[in-house]
Amino acid sequence: MATIRDVAKKANVSVATVSRVLNNKGYVSEEAQKNVMAAIESLSYTPNSVARTLYNKSSGMIGLVLPDITNPFFPELARAVEDVAHTYGYTVVLCNSDEEVAKEKKYFDALKQKYIDGIILTTSSLTSKDYDRLDLPMVALDRRIGDHIPTVVSENKQGACEATEHLLAKGCRYLAHLRGPEGVKTADERYKGFMEVVEQHGVEHVVLNAEFQIDKAEAVAQELFTTYPQVDGVFAGSDVTAAGVMKAAHTLNKRIPADIKLIGFDGIPLGKMLVPALSTVEQSIYKMGALSARLLIKQIEKQPMASMYYELPVKLIARETT
């Protein structure tokens, strides 16, 4: 395989000149650049990406840290991030943290060693100070970490209000909310929206934690329906949670929507495939991922950003479960 020295010799220039051409840094005469490019083509030279990374302290890679790749919400986000990153010449490194602090820290250490150019976070296991210590361009996606970190979220509270109002409009009189993990901003905002509506209308209600996990949601929903048989409407904190509720209802011979009306949150494709089809609050998942990638690349390339906070609208989709 040809080396950078072979290219320099054939082009009759110095190794430093070849390096400047490859990295697009520093002055190179037009003639020298033509000679270098001709030599590269003639020798079929491929630059050593490891050496270039060490030289530039830049890898052309961005990290995407997800909490749970098995949740269908996150692969759709990842697809959008990858599509935009590829357009701008960046490669995406996918990291699944499982919301484990030790695992997340291990990923960050590895990414820094590889001179990652920036990180998109959809987790918030660590503290704001921990993220600041990374000293890297960063975007918080579907999470809020701090005012100094660009953030892309949906109208979680507003969507929760609409979901709860929808259940009431369908005649429900005793509502349950299976919420996501406490301390996760998206879950907290959806809980606040639910509570605002039930308190405003004086509706009887109960709230249980299902952690955005289908198995946990199924177990919690079985407990809910057994302990509170009067519940006739459920607002699930995510579509995955709602799928767990549907499994529990089927096990206990409760009919949806005849006995229990159900609405989720996210708008993942799975909702349309369930039987009955799931009513949900739809997020602009692809737009969220695409926007976060553009914001990160702007930071990496030191371009100005119009805002540090983006809250995208949601849409209530009424299907067969309500």
Give the model confidence (pLDDT) of 248-288 as tens digits. 999 999 999 999 999 999 999 889 999 999 999 999 999 99
Positive or negative torsion for Cα 237, 238, 239, 245: negative
**Count of CA atoms in the C-beta half-sphere (13 A) of 245:** 38
Structure tokens at 284: 């602009």
Query: What is the DSSP pairing of strand 233-236 with strand 174-179?
Result: parallel
pLDDT of residue 54: 44
The SS3 of residue 129 is helix
Helix intervals (H) in 228-284? 239-251, 270-273
Helix intervals (H) in 134-238? 156-169, 185-201, 214-227
pLDDT of residue 25: 67
Cα–Cα distance for residue pair 231/318, rounded to 1 Å: 20
- Please give the DSSP secondary-structure letter assigned to residue 141: E
The rounded average pLDDT for each run of 10 residues, N- to C-terminus, in the chain (322 residues) is: 84 86 77 88 73 54 87 90 88 85 82 80 76 82 84 96 98 97 91 97 96 93 96 96 96 96 94 94 94 92 87 96 96
Q: How far apart are the first and last CA of the chain?
A: 65
pLDDT of residue 256: 97
With left for phi above 0 and alpha for psi between -120 and 50, is residue 89 left, alpha or beta? left
Cα–Cα distance for residue pair 224/176, rounded to 1 Å: 8
- Please give the DSSP secondary-structure letter assigned to residue 130: H
For Cα atoms 115, 21, 10, give the angle at the middle one, nearest 5 degrees. Answer: 120
pLDDT of residue 101: 83
Give the model confidence (pLDDT) of 96-111 as tens digits. 887 788 888 888 887 7
Sheet holding 91-96: strands in order across?
Answer: 91-96, 61-66, 118-121, 138-141, 151-154, 309-312
pLDDT of residue 129: 76
